[in-house]
Amino acid sequence: MKIVTVVGARPQFIKAAVVSRELRKEFEEILVHTGQHYDHNMSEVFFEELDIPKPDYNLGISGGTHGKMTGEMLIEIEKVLLKESPDAVLLYGDTNSTLAGAIAAVKLHIPVIHVEAGNRLGSKSNPEEVNRILTDHASSLHLCCTDSAKEYLSREGIVDTAYVVGDPMYDAFQFYSNKVEHDVAETLISLYNEKLELPEKFYYMTCHREENAGKDETLIEILSAMDSLDEKTIYPVHPRNTQRVKRIIEEKGYRNIIACKPVGYLMSVYLVNHAQKIVTDSGGLQREAFFAKKQCVTVFDYVVWPETMIDNRNQLSKPCKKEILNKLSNPQIVSESHAFGDGYSCKKIVAHIKEILKNEEKKYEREIAK
């Protein structure tokens, strides 16, 4: 049986890396890269480092408004689906690439499998929330990372097709943390030391959301907080914000922030595992902080991953210097949690896909027999 997987953004490459490895033991997989993220260090580096198979199609679509980007992807993904005629389409998360894949597939009556289904923050002003809701309602199989995600789906009437499988980001983080510490730590450090001047102690920050990094006012609050800390902050900057970050750091004379280009996933895992604390607005990084038992402050208005918030392990903050510093100084209790699974979510994902496709096949045979 054939599965078409659609990816396009950095976090999707990471999930695909671990799921594809498992999926390809059972299915033929056709990998479609929409092109949403395209710089070498936002795309290719992940394929190289994580041994992700080369995409069968790269649609080369990026930038523009949400509607234009999603619409162009929809047109091109439909062409691929008509040509490949897959048994199902596999999608990850909540990007515009996810939504385009969902609409293209459901309109062609191809079952949609959504990994990372069910997360909700409760506001349609967030573009990812819109993508999640619409994708979930077009999907035939909902594979949730956590119990809370399954619960959100049940409130929207999605019950029989939803399963908690754990988080493939946790599988990836465990697998690659091990690799980083055992096989590649020295190479990574020597490689990045030249570029990053990696200090022994540091904070790790990522900040790319429009609400935070899209205007001077908020970004200055965040950077000013980080600059005032006792150790340096390493800040790999999303390409959309490079100019603004560079200008503000120069204008304000911040000396305690090492802003650099986006790093590969292995280096990011290293930074998570070795940071004092983490400040981010990334859905992926706040979970990774939790996996590594590092205190995290998430600069965002909404809780997307409620399981990470126990015992102040992850705290929300407004983009406000005082609040960020205040939250960072709160004491942290590291409690045990298995909220994101046991590190084998990929196997569960593939088992559920096999099951649903077996049922689809039976349904088809029954229809033919009629």
- Could you give the residue numbers annotated as active site? 208
Does 146 participate in binding ligand UDP (rule CB under 6 A)? no
Q: Restricting to residues 254-293, which ones interact with ligand UD1 according to CB under 6 A?
A: none
**Calpha distance 134→77 (Å, rounded):** 17
Size of site (CB under 6 A) for ligand UDP: 14
Contact of residue 39 among ligand UDP, ligand UD1, none (CB under 5-8 Å per partner type): ligand UD1
Our CB check for ligand UD1 shows the closer of 96 and 139 to be: 96
Question: Going by C-beta distance under 8 Å and a sequence separation of 6 or more, which residues neighbour residue 107?
Answer: 78
Does 313 participate in binding ligand UDP (rule CB under 6 A)? no
239: tokens are: 């390409």
Does 43 participate in binding ligand UDP (rule CB under 6 A)? no
Strands of 174-300, DSSP E? 202-206, 232-236, 257-260, 278-280, 296-299
Does 246 participate in binding ligand UD1 (rule CB under 6 A)? no
Q: Give the amino acid at 318.
A: K
Does 96 participate in binding ligand UD1 (rule CB under 6 A)? yes
Does 284 participate in binding ligand UDP (rule CB under 6 A)? yes
Our CB check for ligand UDP shows the closer of 167 and 221 to be: 167
* Residue 136 contacts residue 113 (beta carbons within 8 Å): no
Does 44 participate in binding ligand UD1 (rule CB under 6 A)? no
Beta bridge partners of 3: 29, 88
The DSSP result for 78-113, as a single string, is HHHHHHH--SEEEEETTSHHHHHHHHHHHHTTPPEE
Does 262 participate in binding ligand UDP (rule CB under 6 A)? yes
In total, the chain counts a number of residues equal to 370
Contact of residue 132 among ligand UDP, ligand UD1, none (CB under 5-8 Å per partner type): none
CB of 173 to ligand UDP, least distance (A): 8
Our CB check for ligand UDP shows the closer of 10 and 327 to be: 10
**Calpha distance 323→187 (Å, rounded):** 37
Q: Give the amino acid at 345.
A: S
Distances (CA, A) of 262 to 45, 98, 236, 324: 10, 22, 5, 23
Q: Restricting to residues 49-68, which ones interact with ligand UD1 according to CB under 6 A?
A: 63
Residue of the chain from 6, 16, 30, 42 that contacts ligand UD1 (CB under 6 A)? 42
Quick note: the x/- pattern for ligand UD1 over 120-139, rule CB under 6 A, is -------xx-----------
Contact of residue 14 among ligand UD1, ligand UDP, none (CB under 5-8 Å per partner type): ligand UDP
Our CB check for ligand UD1 shows the closer of 238 and 274 to be: 238
CB of 285 to ligand UDP, least distance (A): 5
Does 39 participate in binding ligand UD1 (rule CB under 6 A)? yes
Residue 28: enclosing H or E segment and its boundaries?
A: strand 28-33
Residue of the chain from 282, 315, 317, 345 that contacts ligand UDP (CB under 6 A)? 282
Our CB check for ligand UDP shows the closer of 108 and 260 to be: 260
Question: Going by C-beta distance under 8 Å and a sequence separation of 6 or more, which residues neighbour residue 146?
Answer: 164, 167, 305, 306, 307, 339, 340
The edge-to-edge listing of strands for the beta sheet with 141-144 is: 57-58, 28-33, 2-7, 88-92, 112-115, 141-144, 162-164
The residues binding ligand UD1 (CB under 6 A) are 9-11, 36-39, 42, 63, 94-96, 127-128, 208, 239-240
